[in-house]
Amino acid sequence: MGFVLILGGARSGKSGLADRLATATPEDPEMEDRIRRHRDTRPPHWSTVEEPVDLQAAIRAGPVSDFVIVDCLTLWVSNLLGAGRGPVEIRAMAGEAALELALHRGVVVTNEVGLGIVPANELARTFRDLLGAVNALFADRAERSVLMVAGRALELSRLDTTTLSR
């Protein structure tokens, strides 16, 4: 059992690697189109749960034998912030969801948003920092982590702190 965490920037190939699923809510016409395209590419035999907020319940809803795709943590964190949840609560929810997901086989997709400039406004900085923390929580529980860049996958290894102190 275990899941693979796929990180990367926008349009880097993350979701293609994970056989795209959506956890978004359609807030505008462009997002509606993205969700429609996600739905259209799913094989008809897939069982799909689209849950924008209660990720833990969605993971628990299926048998442990199911392969789970979470696409994506970025939208989940955004949805939680938009629903008024605070960073401490979101980190706790992420820790619980990652523990639950570790009991399954699956893939988790998320964006790496901390490689650019420091955002000018407080909400954007909170989101960037919080998503980085959530990504790290999932990476800790993941069997493997992969960084997607320009459609190419780079396997990420765990940091061996014992060798750093030498």
Q: How many Å apart are CA 76 and CA 61, to the nearest integer?
A: 17
Q: What is the DSSP letter of 150?
A: T
Q: Is 38 a catalytic residue?
A: yes
Which residues, other chains included, contact 93 with Cβ-Cβ below 8 Å and sequence gap of 6+? Answer: 55, 56, 80, 85
Please tell me which residue in 14, 20, 38, 104 is annotated as part of the active site: 38
Residues in the chain: 166
- Helix runs in the chain, H state only: 14-17, 29-41, 55-61, 73-82, 87-101, 122-141, 161-164
Residues marked as catalytic: 38
